[in-house]
Amino acid sequence: MIERESKQVEINLDRSKEEKLEWLMNEYGQKITRLAFTYTRQKELSEDIAQEVFIRCFEHLDNFRHESTYKTWLYRITVNLCKDKLRSWSFKNIVLAEFFSTSKSTEKTPEIEVLYLEDKRLISKKILSLPVKYREIIIFYYYEEMSYNEISGLLNLSIQTIKSRLHKARQLLKKALEGSKLNG
């Protein structure tokens, strides 16, 4: 992934600011929205945050020093905006009612697909019920397939803290799923 993005950086150096932004939006737009949703649990709010991320990205694109990947930079902006939103009075007074959509599965029979989606929704709901500090680790590690080092850099936490939170998150998730009827 980093190698692919490195090649894209070389390509993007010759592009205009608008073209770079368009490429970033196409490349990371859905991931940014999904990440924001894991924090806010509201589709419309996550879309608003994603839009704000790309506005900030555009404003600061000329100052990007390539010390990290675009992905890490955009994720950091997203996480910071989400945490600001979670601390805001208006967010604390909104009822959270949605949970993030599941990823697409491989071809299966309709019955198996329904059972699979039910399991994914149940697991997603349980993940979203975790405290943010555990939820974000689960999302980055399992859904975004980020390494301990990448998560550490993104959240400004030590690798040991990442490992500890991941372990605790797994325990909390296991406890939350006990008694649930998973289909597979």
88-112 pLDDT, tens digit each: 655 554 433 333 444 444 556 676 6
Query: Residue 68's pLDDT is what?
Result: 82
- pLDDT one-digit tens code per residue, 20-75: 889 999 999 999 999 999 888 788 889 999 999 999 999 888 888 888 888 889 99
Residue (of 116, 59, 46, 118) closest to 86 by Cα position: 46
Q: Enter the pTM of the model.
A: 0.55
What was the pLDDT predicted at 157?
92
Same domain, 147 and 171: yes
Q: Domain boundary at 66, 98, 130, which?
A: 98
Q: CB-based burial of residue 4 (10 Å sphere; 0-12 exposed, 13-18 middle, 19+ buried)?
A: exposed
Q: What pLDDT was estimated at residue 55?
A: 92
Please state the rounded mean pLDDT for residues 130-142: 88
For 58-121, the three-class secondary structure string (H helix, E strand, C coil) is HHHHHHCCCCCCHHHHHHHHHHHHHHHHHHCHHHHCCCCCCCCCCCCCCCCCHHHHHHHHHHHH
What is the spatial distance between Cα 6 and Cα 58, in angstroms, rounded to a whole number?
Answer: 20
Domain that holds residue 31: 1-98
Provide the token pair at 150.
């990448």
CA–CA gap between residue 103 and residue 107 (Å, rounded) = 13
For residues 47 and 30, give the distance between their C-alpha atoms in angstroms, rounded to a whole number: 9
Cα–Cα dist 168/99, whole Å: 22
Residue 113 lies in a domain: yes
CATH number for position 126: 1.10.10.10
Number of domains in the chain: 2
123's tokens: 């697991």
Which residues, in sequence order, are CB contacts of 116 under 8 Å at separation 6+?
Answer: 105, 108, 183, 184
Residue 184 lies in a domain: no
Distances (CA, A) of 124 to 175, 176, 177: 14, 11, 11
> Both 121 and 153 in a single domain?
yes
85/114 same-domain check: no
Helices 43-60 and 17-40, axial angle in degrees (round to 10)? 150
In a domain, 51, yes or no: yes
111 and 153 share one domain? yes
Tell whether 157 and 111 lie within a shared domain.
yes
The Cβ of residue 70 has, within 10 Å, a number of other Cβ atoms equal to: 20
